[in-house]
Chains A and B, each alone.
Chain A
Amino acid sequence: MDLILDGILQALRLIMSFDSEVMAVTLLSLKISCSATLISLFIGIPAGTLLALAHFPGRRLVVSLVNTGMGLPPVVVGLFVTIFLWRNGPLGFLEILYTPAAMILAQAVIATPIVAGITIASIQNLPANLKLQVLALGATRVQMVWILVREARLPLLAAVMAGFGGVISEVGASIMVGGNIKGQTRVLTTATVMETGKGNFDVAIALSLILLLLAFGVNYILTVIQQRERPR
């Protein structure tokens, strides 16, 4: 119990004193995971909308694959992204392994199926004849899609939260493609693993608490937005 108390006190001390290293690690976590979430939104929402509305052979298979991808293990993503980004790997010319860019890439791969999967579910949950009504009122196909996405915007915020939550908390991919390099690719989760390995449990607990606060903060903002416009 002493250890947990020490950890909480240490966390407060680190937060209150604006410890420069902890601040840098926290900010980097936020930057990387926000960027990755953003990329996953740009890919996942259009792809999910398409899959929800289009009819083509093999659609069920693709949707199943996306749904499986929602549980993609971060270490598996980390392993493949690392192999692709190796200097002598297929994407080695990019020279981004062990940089924040590589971490964004890996996290975007993790978050995209999550966003796409929730998008499919949200769009399909809209009343079935909404699509017909909109078309009957003379909307073009593009306008129809836009209206459907707008109608689904509240559940789509859940996609943002799930995607962000998935990547801010993962460690497997970040440690493999980032390397936990001090001042460059050390984020909250990888720093927590390292401090645990060093036996600095109080610092590890402090970092964990900061991570939880961060995840809570972002989700709180998103939830406020989501709940503000509940259908009345």
Chain B
Amino acid sequence: MRSRKYIIGFIAALVMLAFTIPALAAPKTIILATTTSTQDSGLLDVLVPLFEKESGYQVKTISVGSGQAMKMGEKGEADVLLVHSPDAEKKFMADGFGVTRRLVMHNDFIILGPATDPAKIKGTTAADSLKRIAQAGALFASRGDNSGTHSKEKGLWKAAAVNPDGQKWYQQTGLGMGQTLNVAAEKKGYVLADRATYLALKKNLGLEILVEGDGKLLNVYHVIEINSVKWPKVNIPGGKAFADFMVSKKTQEIIGRFGVDKFGAPLFFPDAGKNPASLGL
């Protein structure tokens, strides 16, 4: 019967562990739906703890593609969004899902590829480079997940007058930015990425920046508070507190400094309060 004692002991240990689970639902929580780039670059790891300390809210950061983040907002399953898909955001606001939409920051997209550059795109414009990739039939790794980066990429294909869908050289990963970069690196393909995620992952990649600086490659982040008219459970004050925090002077300074010590250059450029027209929006 010794084994019985062990079994009882084991079950008792399980029960004890189970009861040490912390309080199930904290009262003051907000759900922040955001893109993978803000998480993978490490920016939110810096900002969220600051906000939590200042405001007393507990933030549940759900990092998904911008498309999915906005879907969560449409369903009232998030209180505030931090996204980078301007055309889709405008539609989101026009459809009445958001209350306010404020400019937070920008950086830029870059087109990366192997150093050998088989499609000879180095130094061309965004649209031109995609045309060349299509002509050469060189492998291109797409997010394919309706994220902000994917929307941007679709816009660029349109500008290049190329329809990549169904082409053998066009591969959709359906993964986040970090993983898609790894796929492109592994397969020696081309890929569109936001600069912040690229810089954060650069050390293991072996991809080179081939196209940058084109005005079409601007990557702009907005913070959107969700409308509670349809979904009364949305935490309005919490969402507003986070949005206000993101555009506050102090936070904007932190954003402007973020990454300088590690990469020698900032990953994001603070834009709060600026006229969107000054960014060419």
A196 pairs with B233, CB closer than 8 A: no
* B31 touching A98, Cβ below 8 Å: yes
Instruction: Please encode chain A, from 1 to 39, with 1 for each CB lying within 8 Å of some chain B CB and 0 for all others.
Output: 000000000000000000000000000001110110110
Residues of chain A with a CB closer than 8 A to B10's CB? 221-222, 225
Asked if B3 contacts A228 (CB within 8 A), the reply is yes
Most A CB atoms within 10 A — which of B18, B58, B177? B18
Question: Which of A56-64, A73-81, A88-96, A136-144 lies on the face that meets chain B?
Answer: A88-96
Could you give, for residues 166-190 of chain A, a 1 whenever the CB lies within 8 Å of some chain B CB and a 0 otherwise? 0000000000000111101000000
Q: Which A residues are CB-close (under 8 A) to B22?
A: 100
CA distance A34 to B13 in the complex (A): 9
CB-CB nearest in chain A for B234: A87
Contact flag A87-B231 (CB < 8 Å), given A196-B179, A197-B176, A225-B3: yes
- Whether the pair B61, A37 counts as a contact (CB closer than 8 A) is no
Given contacts A38-B14, A88-B233, is CB(A98)–CB(B60) below 8 Å? yes
- Inter-chain contacts of B205 with A (CB < 8 A): 199
B36 in contact (CB, < 8 A): yes
Scoring A residues 100 to 124 as 1 if CB is less than 8 Å from chain B, else 0, what string do you get? 1100100000000000000000000
Given contacts A153-B7, A225-B10, contact A179 B18 (CB under 8 A): no
Total A residues in contact with B, Cβ cutoff 8 Å: 38
Residues of the B chain whose Cβ atoms lie less than 8 Å from the Cβ of A181: 59-62
B18 A34 Cβ-Cβ under 8 A: yes
Q: Are B14 and A179 in contact (CB under 8 A)?
A: no
Query: Which secondary structure dominates chain B's binding surface?
Result: helix
Within B195-217, the residues touching A (CB, 8 Å) are 200-201, 203-205
Known: A98-B62, A198-B201. A229 touches B3 (CB 8 A): yes
Size category, B interface = 35 or more
- B37-45, B115-123, B136-144: which lies at the A interface? B37-45
Residues on A with C-beta less than 8 A from B200 are 198-199
A228 to B10 CA separation, bound complex (whole angstroms): 15
B44 shortest CB reach to chain A, Å: 9
Do B204 and A38 touch across chains, with their CB atoms under 8 A apart? no
Q: Are B76 and A228 in contact (CB under 8 A)?
A: no
Residue from B3, B36, B60, B231 in contact with A184 in the complex, judged by beta carbons closer than 8 Å: B60
Chain B residues within an 8 Å CB radius of A201? 204
Across the interface, do B60 and A34 meet the contact criterion of CB distance under 8 Å?
no
Closest to A88 in B: B76
Is there contact, CB below 8 Å, between A197 and B36?
yes
A31-B17, A98-B60 in contact; A199/B6 too (CB < 8 A)?
Answer: no
- Give me the interface of A with B, judged by CB distance under 8 Å: 30-32, 34-35, 37-38, 41, 86-88, 92, 94-96, 98-101, 104, 153, 157, 179-182, 184, 194, 196-199, 201, 221-222, 225, 228-229
- The 28 listed contacts between A and B (C-beta, < 8 Å) are A31-B17, A31-B18, A31-B21, A34-B14, A35-B18, A35-B21, A38-B14, A86-B75, A86-B77, A87-B231, A88-B76, A88-B77, A88-B233, A96-B24, A100-B24, A101-B21, A101-B24, A101-B25, A179-B60, A181-B59, A181-B60, A196-B178, A199-B182, A199-B201, A225-B10, A228-B3, A228-B6, A229-B2
**Given A96-B25, A199-B178, 8 new contacts (CB under 8 A):** A32-B21, A34-B18, A99-B25, A101-B24, A181-B62, A197-B176, A199-B205, A221-B10
Q: Which 10 A-B pairs have the closest CB atoms?
A: A199-B201, A197-B178, A35-B18, A229-B3, A87-B233, A98-B60, A101-B24, A225-B6, A34-B17, A38-B14
